[in-house]
Amino acid sequence: MEKKGPEIASGDRFDALLTVVIPAYNEAEKIRENLCVVSSTIQQFSNSYEIIVVNDGSRDSTLEQVLLAQKEDTHIRCISVEENTGKGNALKVGVQNASAQGYIAFLDADLDLQPDHLLEFYRVMQEQNADAVIGSKMHPDSQLDYPRSRRRISACYYFMLKLLFGLNVHDTQTGIKLFRAETIKRVMPYIRVKRFAYDIEVLAILNQDGARIVEAPIQLTFQRKTAWTRIRFMDMWQTGWDTLAVFYRLKIRKYDQHAMRSAGK
């Protein structure tokens, strides 16, 4: 476990608890080492932090590797879901188990996106008084080592989302995001998409709730062996279907608006 995170210059530090939620499915090969990187990086800019790893019904030894990491680092917490239910549901479970104070971040287990992004996201959040800062592959300052086929799919999905939801963001699907804890805690109970389209549901509800969402540049280095290691045609089909379902609930039935008003927000 000698691998360390990137060096971070001295600067701002998070002023409250930072919770990083990491969904993990069949990540046994790298998860323990990657969690070491996440923790050693975050401790450079946060005095108070926790890392919640949600094992989403992995079929390999992901759970065992996360439990080993938890023994080695008290900042790491493991929550295990018996059956694979999808990334969206794993994040929802993680948020439900996070503190309602401070900040909550989403981060992918493969570390295509390094955790040092979160310090810059925090700075952007403070400077622009944002409720959410999301990584964007389409930001002009982003640096990408990313398959062109995946870029084309992302671009097509962006135009679909622009047409349906009118969100003033260019990229909803990038895996790293930072929220004020009270903001994401308020909307997460109403998230119904369990797999890949959860991002748009989260951001659409935040937008309807009046939250300020800001995009930030990223540095992305693709870690998978092929462009489509995890995402299959059926996953893309399901994502499109779930996106239309979100549109129906939010724009036609206005289900989430009514539910949040009934709960008194």
DSSP string, 111-129: -SB-TTHHHHHHHHHHHHT
84 pLDDT band, cuts 50/70/90, is very high
Give pLDDT tens digits for 132-171.
Answer: 999 998 888 988 876 666 666 666 766 777 777 777 777 8
pLDDT for 180? 98
Q: Tokens 């260019």, residue? A: 170
φ, ψ of residue 33 to 5 degrees: the values are -65, -40
Mean pLDDT value across residues 198-207: 87
Give me the chain's average pLDDT, please. 84
pLDDT for 197? 76
pLDDT for 176? 97
Give pLDDT tens digits for 52-76.
Answer: 999 999 999 999 999 999 999 999 9
CA gap 250, 200 in Å, rounded: 11
Percent of the chain surpassing pLDDT 90: 54
110, 33 contact by CB (below 8 A): no
> How many Å from the N-terminal Cα to the C-terminal Cα in the chain?
44
255, 249 contact by CB (below 8 A): yes
CA gap 32, 59 in Å, rounded: 16
121, 45 contact by CB (below 8 A): no
CATH topology of domain 18-262: Spore Coat Polysaccharide Biosynthesis Protein SpsA; Chain A (3.90.550)
Domain boundaries defined on the chain: 18-262
pLDDT for 257? 54
227 pLDDT band, cuts 50/70/90, is very low
Q: Give the residue with greater pLDDT, 215 vs 143.
A: 215
CA gap 16, 149 in Å, rounded: 39
